[in-house]
Amino acid sequence: MAIAEVGKESARPVEGRGLRIERRFTREGVHPYDEIDWELRDAVIPGEGGNVFEQRGVEVPKFWSQTATNVVASKYFRGKQGTEAREWSVKQMVDRVVDTIARAGFAAGYFAGEPDRDAFADELKYLLVNQHASFNSPVWFNIGVPGVPQQPSACFILSVEDDMHSILDWFRNEGVIFKGGSGSGVNVRSCAARIRSRDRSSRAAPRGARRRWSC
């Protein structure tokens, strides 16, 4: 399988550097999609007042459950429904993610050469379509989607200082993270130290006031 290059970003790796990828599940010259049976089926999620989601003619591996079909089509297919931009096949979804990762890795010199890049992509596609592994949701939501921040992490750890600007920045940053489909936690060590100091110096402070400073 040959992965199309992407403009000037497709840098060649340094000779002798990068990973050598050994094939374990795939064969060179045989696409992993050709090793399994595929079928078209409808992805429909019913609700009390009608269907919550519906996409007809979705292409999935034949052995996938209907639940897996519904989840992938409703949550992870990208593009507006009813347009040509809408993904309708698991092949499109997996290609979007894996080819993006493989191109980026090759451009950054992670692979020793093109055969290693292609072996990596084939092996990863095999694992995904055969349900031996899966990415977390932000990867499927964002990676390879044009005009979208390439945000793959499921969880971010934020920090906050004991001042209003930092606290407001915390909420803003958290909102941006949530918009990308990820979650976040926060390290409140600096706030907690100030709270303990205030508690020791002023036992008369209302408990409610102290709680408001708990991040």
From the first residue on, what is the mean pLDDT of each consecutive set of 10 residues in the chain (215 residues)?
46 69 97 98 95 97 98 97 96 98 96 97 99 95 92 76 76 73 72 56 41 31
- Looking at residue 172, its pLDDT comes to 77
| Cα–Cα distances in angstroms (integers) from residue 116 to residues 10, 185, 211, in the given order | 15, 37, 55
| Cα–Cα distances in angstroms (integers) from residue 58 to residues 25, 52, 172, in the given order | 26, 16, 37
Rounded Cα distance, 40 and 65, in Å: 13
Q: Number of helices and strands (H, E) in the chain?
A: 7, 4
| Cα–Cα distances in angstroms (integers) from residue 23 to residues 30, 124, 153, in the given order | 12, 10, 27
Residues whose CB is less than 8 angstroms from the CB of residue 81 and which lie 6 or more positions away in sequence, other chains included: 55
Q: Where exactly are the structural domains of the chain?
A: 7-142, 155-212
Query: 3-class DSSP state for residue 118?
Result: helix
**Cβ atoms of residues 117 and 111 within 8 Å:** yes
Helices (H), the chain: 66-71, 90-107, 114-129, 137-142, 164-179, 189-201, 207-212
The percent of the chain in helix, strand and coil, each rounded to the nearest 5, is 45, 15, 40
CA 91 vs. chain centroid, Å, equals 16
pTM (2 d.p.): 0.73
| Cα–Cα distances in angstroms (integers) from residue 156 to residues 161, 173, 184, in the given order | 17, 10, 4
- Looking at residue 197, its pLDDT comes to 53
- Looking at residue 10, its pLDDT comes to 47
